[in-house]
Structure 1
Amino acid sequence: MNTAANSAAPPAGPGQASPGQVWAHVGQSFTPQDYDVVVLGAGRMGSALAFYLRHLAPQLRLLLIEEGGLPNEDGATLLAPGVWTGWGVPEDRQSQATWTREQLETGFGNISFQARPLIELFAEGGPDRTPAADALAPFPDALAMVDLEALPFARVDAQAATYRPGALALAAAQQAVKAGADLMLNARAHAVLSPEGRGGRVAIERLSVTNTHQIVVHETHHLRAETLVLALGADGPHAAEHGLGRHTNHARAYRQTPRLNVPSNDKTPTLRVAGLTLRPQSDGFTLIPAVHHRDPHGYSPTGGHLTGVPTGLRRETLEDLVALMNALPPLGTEALGLGRSISDIPGAWLALPGGQPGGLPLHQPLADGVHLLLGGPQADTLGLAVAHDLAAVVAEVTERPWKGEAHPAE
């Protein structure tokens, strides 16, 4: 996204909103003004919220602020699995999951959405489980990865799908701007409660890079928001406590996504074993480890050791992979990218709503006109529904596009 593309947009037609302004770097002058809604964070959740809010309440002046150079540049959105599945979704939220899948398939253009079965493998039989050999038979590449004696049973989610969360965030932000939202990139924002009693005040630090590649604050602006949304991912609860004085029970965990360089293609299913998800991607597999618990305050990710050799994988993740090497033999080969330090393995802090490893996405009021928006481990399946629900709350719209009474608010 850039201002050149934005300024070249055709004039809005009758009844259409004019495109919003994009401030991509400090060379573009910014004059502070008050907004009806300010969203801090343009990852998947914040961008989706802006997109839906422009459709539900186009009269509201909306500013989306992102510390990075693009809405999908780094963080948990970029490294999210991008695997939609109805497994693990409570019955009263299934309609929201189904609606989210429909949105992923049709609502945002090309985000690499692809129907792709999810096959979970087990050592023991159980309800809905069939012979793993039968489930894997149509997929020789996946079959070759599994020791069927160790994992003889399987269940299949034939409705599962994959997509690119980073592409979703970028598309949602672009469409929100096209519909009239303003977007500021390369800006760090700090929020405090408004003394007027509703909403908040935001200090915006516009960032630039020196000749020695240091990120510095170029200028600072202040503005007021009638409605303020913290969509900062794992940093959201911290910002709520330290900026707004609101303590929450949410937590975070550091999740790495190592590569397994075993061939995959467009027909290869997603695999899951003991909480480990093997997501076909870029002609290989991205491994999505299970999140077992919150990381304590002050935890700094460090690599573990395998047979005395330092690796880039944190100890808990390394232990999980070692335990599965017999069942999934490629994990015990050089195909697994171990790295030598923590910086060699892609990783990001993941929000844990409610402090739980399986916490569902939610939005939470922190004060009058101030909300916290969290995705977390289930954002792939429910994130868009939660973002839409908060947009409807802000827009004072009572109807929801899915069936059922459950609302994803804490």
Structure 2
Amino acid sequence: MKKQQSIPLVMLAIILITLSCSRRDTDSTDKQADVQLIVELNSKQFPNASKDSIEKETYNNLQQLDGIEFFLKPENNYLDENTLQTNGKEKELTLQQLTRNNNAQLFYFKFSPASTNVPYMIYSAKEKTPIGIGSYKNTPNQYVLFNQASGKTSLFGFGWNLTLNTDRNKYFIESRDITGSSDIGIMSYVVDTQNKKLSIEKKNNTASQQFNIVPNDEFLIENIKISTKGGEITESKSIVLKRGTVKNDTSKEVKQNLVFSETLIGANSFIERMGGILITKTGNLEVETGLPKVIISNGVTSFGNNEITKLKYSTNSPLTTTIQLNIDNSISPKTTLNYKITVIQYQFRLKYTALCRGVKSGKIINISGVYNGTSYSNPSLEITQQNI
């Protein structure tokens, strides 16, 4: 009888051990899943800080990218890890080498009015869901940049404010929602690329937190308009083009025709003011446009009528101007005529707008910026005579 009773007890022990091992395996799997699970953040866990206002110029520039996909490239441009890339829904974004035909590296904006709490969100072109800030379930205080899952409706952590650096040529990708405290008060969080790794850190204005937006398109320049409104003359100076002498050693007055022609080369440049948006131009970069000239009237300098000029859209291009004079002079007997030809050179700054059309998208972008030009005016001949 004792043998017959021992068999069920052994079986029961085996079953209990098996269940215990299975439970441990399940617990281990659940813990591992928690380690890998990114969760959205709870708005109640963050200070109720007031939202920074959206700069109108920045918002207007970015809104021109509506319907255009783009790359996000960090200032810390590591050769092999120079572009943001998504890796699936509910997965962290990473830095990868730029691959232009990889739509996991492409993003697009969805816009709301600038006055709203979430003026724009950044979406993955591949996943069709927004990117935002979350944390792994087991490390709730360590924030990561990730792709939202499909079907989620929460916007907290997915609103962004793109703010310009001091030079106004790159953006901080700054959260509209996630804030923290510091010795100087409430601090915002931004996307960071320190040590080739994407992370979410408190804003410190370093290069690792600055980005350029690069549209996935090339643009043809259709026209350029240069405006005199708000223009300024930054420098003016008199330049001597030629000095010379003509002798009349006869006893009669001599008529002298002075013919002068010289081509001057001035520095000209178009400097874009599009914030951190880098727009690739293609096709013919020489465009005819009306270029204002500097004139002097009653001792006052101003910008005169436009002259149709062919300009090259470049950060540094020469522009030629030809100065011509044809003057008759009378030289007295036994006299030397000394002459000097001068012209006034002006450096000036004007605002411009270049209308560009995307080759692939067909979208129109108006590039605004500053045209720095050179103008020459008031060529004059100064004459003195002296006895031989």
- When the two structures are superposed, what TM-score results if normalisation uses the length of structure 2? 0.23
Higher relative contact order (CA 8 A, sep 6+): 1
Pair member with larger Rg:
2
User: Which has the larger share of helix?
Assistant: 1
TM-score (norm 1): 0.22
